[in-house]
Amino acid sequence: MTGQDWIEKDFYKTLGVSKDADDATIKKAYRKLARDLHPDRNPGDASAEGRFKEVGEAYSVLSDPEQRKQYDAIRAMAGGGARFSAGTGGPSGAAGFEDLFGGMFGGGGSGGGRTRFSTGGGGFEDILQDMFSGGGGGGGGFGSRRTTQRGGDITTSATLPFRNAVEGSTVQLTTNGRSMNVRIPAGVSDGQKIRLRGKGQAGRGGGEPGDMVVTVHVEPHPVFTMDGLNLKVTVPVTFAEAALGATIDVPTLSGETVRLKVPAGTPSGRTLRVKGRGIDTPKGTGDLLVTVQVAVPTHLPADARKAVEAFAAATSGEDPRADLRARAAR
């Protein structure tokens, strides 16, 4: 970045803060803008990507006390951002800029010679660089301190057994030849992306590192599924248990069983809730959702068949599909 760039760009305006904003305010403004404008949240949006770069450029200067001091000084000299060109020292006013610098370096005054500046070769920007780098043409000044850039994000994936996803687990990931242990929180769902701040590629010129984005794949369980913080299970019951009511044993992921009351007249497909037996996380604990499924026997002994036939005869006047037909005709 050149001295003229610093004169023309209002980094305070870019971040939406005042010129006397403290470090915490600047950092907070940057984080909000960087989060809102990040390419991951605005895929294919060139405008957002451009603003994201501008915000990063502004923060890299204003977050560094020395660079901010230099930036403020240059902007103050320039009167807030006008472009300068050397004048002839005539009465038109073009000599004002030269007088300013002449006064600083001892060349001002009514009787003395005037310090001259030119726009070509070693002109205005070189003078400013000498001011803030201690002179010399080696390039140790403000212009050489601009190359701060945030590191890139790294994407990877991890596959977890169902139980580890429910309980949380530490997995070892290897990316770009680097291995690290990563903690996966309890209750992570299949396909969920976890962003690990600062675990991506290193930044340049002191810029902050990027993030690591881990896509988690959860292996299915033969019995349980996840629904947020809840665990779901389907439990078969006999017709008699559903019709007459019963207390049944229901398995849990821990290997224990819990006693669940099935009310009389429970239809197949109804879901009953066991409080507090779901996924346990710092944010809360879910429940175990038990869906009742009436099991129909494929073969009936003779006495059982007679009992069912007797039941059918006793309830022959009932039509479970009457309400369905009525609602379908509306």
String of b and e for 286-304 (b: at least 16 CB within 10 Å)?
A: bbbbbebebeeeeeeeeee
Structure confidence at residue 138 (pLDDT): 44
Structure confidence at residue 1 (pLDDT): 52
Structure confidence at residue 272 (pLDDT): 97
pLDDT digits (tens, 9 = 90+) for 73-90: 888 877 654 444 444 444
pLDDT digits (tens, 9 = 90+) for 146-161: 578 898 888 889 999 9
Structure confidence at residue 187 (pLDDT): 92
Look up the pTM and report it: 0.52
Which structural domains are found in the chain, ordered by start? 3-86+123-145 (1.10.287.110), 154-218 (2.60.260.20), 225-325 (2.60.260.20)
Structure confidence at residue 237 (pLDDT): 96
pLDDT digits (tens, 9 = 90+) for 5-51: 677 889 999 999 999 999 999 999 988 998 888 877 888 888 888 88
Render each residue's pLDDT in the chain as its tens digit; 330 residues.
Answer: 555 667 788 999 999 999 999 999 999 998 899 888 887 788 888 888 888 888 888 888 898 888 888 888 888 877 654 444 444 444 444 444 444 444 444 444 444 444 343 334 444 444 444 444 444 444 444 444 557 889 888 888 999 999 999 999 998 888 777 788 888 999 999 999 999 888 888 888 888 999 989 999 999 999 999 999 999 999 999 999 999 999 999 999 988 999 999 999 999 999 999 999 999 998 899 999 999 999 998 888 999 899 989 988 988 888 888 888 888 988
